[in-house]
Amino acid sequence: MNAGQTIHAYFDALTAGDAQQLVDLMSQASYFAKIGTDENEFIEGGQNAPDYYRHHVASTEDFTIEFEYLDIQERDTVAWFYTRQIWSLKWQGVEEELVIRMTGVLEKEANTWKFVQIHASLGIPESGS
């Protein structure tokens, strides 16, 4: 898979609830970092990714992603992406619709693209003053 196919495989695995595919796409490097949208949602070190993704998949139902924008760049052994999305899902039994902005970095490890960094944030409407 090229970097773009790997990024699409990540989002497909998220919505399909395929924890093993998600784990397989992550680097085991000590510098791996995943920052999510919740206050204490961060993973440092690839060895911690499996537990995170297994919990995420077990807590999520009816997950769909609508892409508003996706840009993928690939150079030699590094690639990165930026996307804006709308996530519709049931998280721990509660239906949610989230406006997500996400960036990520991948490295080529033994001719296979692996995620080394993912950062997600929520789009929050401005409050009227």
pLDDT, tens digit, 9 for 90 and up, residues 24-71: 999 999 999 999 998 899 999 999 999 999 999 999 999 999 999 999
pLDDT in tens, 80-99: 999 999 999 998 888 999 99
Residues 6+ away with beta carbon under 8 Å from 82: 69, 70, 71, 101, 102, 103
Domain boundaries in the chain? 3-122
pLDDT at 16 over 90: yes
Q: What number is the average pLDDT over the span 15-30? A: 97
pLDDT at 128 over 90: no
pLDDT at 127: 64
pLDDT at 126 over 70: no
Burial class (CB in 10 A: 0-12, 13-18, 19+), 80: middle
The pTM for the full model equals 0.92
Look up the CATH number of domain 3-122: 3.10.450.50
Question: Alpha-carbon distance 54 to 31, whole Å?
Answer: 20
pLDDT at 94: 87
Give the closest residue to 31 by CA, choosing from 45, 18, 42, 12: 45
